[in-house]
Amino acid sequence: MLVAGDLFDSNHVSRTTVDFAINELSRLGEIPVCILPGTHDCYDISSVYKNMEQQDIPKNIILFTDSRKPYKLLENLDLTVYGKPNTSSSGRERPLANLVKMEGLTKYYIAMAHGSVLVPSKSGEDEFPIRLKDIESSNFDYVALGHWHSFYEVSQGRTKAFYCGSPEQIKFGSKDAGSVILVELAENINVEKIRVGSTVWKEIEFSTEKLKSQLELNKEIEQYQGEMAILKARISGVSPTDSDLNVSKVVQELRDKFLHLAIEDNTVTVPEDFVNLKLPKNTILGQFVEIMEEKIKTSRPQEKEKVEQALKTGYALLTGKEVF
């Protein structure tokens, strides 16, 4: 198993979390687990790996913390694995540039590197840059990359190189996360993407034009329920002051049906009865309400609802409220 950095989200993790990770990895028995410090769990003075090195960790866990001798021989697999630890959370050092493969040790050679492949507008020079030419000239059979949370291939020449991404999606907007990669070392390197993520992330938007009551909102939200569902909903539009829409109550009633539920209330309230407002007719707002009230009276039944909504939206905008 290859962990190309960021096994832990930071170096400030509890002993319970570290022990849990060690115990879980030890369940693999004799299967080697190669762990490279990344940017979140970099190998600095407070590194979580310095504590692990002082523990009696299982023999199958192999830490890549020695920059001077950045390789380990797995003789039973006829394999040499290389990897230099990241010693800070950001830097301009190129992880693959100075990783020199020593020929003749084993049949197969793998490198681990944690950083960003240089892509215009996507990555910077201070994210431990990995140039495409570094991959091609490395002459490794396979390069396991870490730092990006989505699956991505950057193979160059004869060297296969991939980001497997995080095994679970960790934020909204992430695409192609939740996978691991199975690599078969042979004359032709075979790479298989395997989906392992179980969380379901969803962002939805509702408008008060379609939701007239809290009961309707509840029914819409419940369509996305699930024990592994993470839902972020936004409600926008204009709502009358006497509306029974109560977002806090909806979250309280339905949150147990989700792994996580968040609802953002962007609605704007306006009066339901504009006639009794008695707005001055020498103002733009007063004239607008008078014109729209007259249009409502003369509208055909199929158009009346749209005109009423236009009145509410216009009222909100003319009173300085953000609707869109």
CATH of residue 34's domain is: 3.60.21.10
Give residue-wise pLDDT tens across range 62-92: 999 999 999 999 999 999 999 999 999 999 9
Strands (E), 104-211: 108-114, 116-117, 129-130, 142-146, 152-153, 160-163, 179-184, 190-195, 200-207
**Residue 277 shares a structural domain with residue 263:** no
Do both 260 and 294 map to the same domain? no
**Beta-bridge partners for 183:** 191
Joined together, the tokens standing for residue 24 give: 């879980």
CA distance 293 to 55: 77
> Which of these three, 270, 298, 314, is where a domain ends?
270
pLDDT above 70 for 321: no
Residue 276 pLDDT exceeds 80: no
Same domain (yes/no): 251, 113: no
For CA atoms 164, 167, 172, 175, the dihedral sign is positive
pLDDT in tens, 219-257: 999 999 999 999 999 988 776 655 677 888 999 999 999
| pTM of this structure | 0.79
What does the pLDDT read at residue 152?
A: 94
End position of a domain, from candidates 195, 230, 246: 195
- Residues 288, 318: contact at Cβ < 8 Å? yes
Span 116-128, average pLDDT: 83
Verify that 52 and 150 share a domain, yes or no.
Answer: yes
Q: Which of 178, 195, 212 is the last residue of a domain?
A: 195
Indicate whether 98 and 241 sit together in one domain. no
Do 89 and 184 reside in the same domain of the chain?
yes
Same domain membership, residue 207 and residue 140: no
Mean of pLDDT values over 92-116: 93
Confidence of residue 270 (pLDDT cuts 50, 70, 90): low
Q: How many domains does the chain have?
A: 3
Question: Which has more confidence, 101 or 112?
Answer: 112
Query: Is the same domain home to 74 and 172?
Result: yes
Regarding whether 189 and 118 lie in a shared domain, the answer is yes
User: What range does the domain containing 319 cover?
Assistant: 273-324
If asked whether residues 132 and 189 sit together in one domain, one would say yes
Q: Are residues 258 and 157 in the same domain?
A: no
CA–CA dist 33, 2 (Å, integer): 6
Say if residue 21 is in the same domain as residue 168: yes
How many percent of the chain have pLDDT more than 90? Answer: 65
Alpha carbon 152 to its chain centroid, in Å, reads: 14
User: Distance of CA 132 to CAs 67, 155, 199, 246, 265, Å?
Assistant: 22, 8, 33, 53, 45
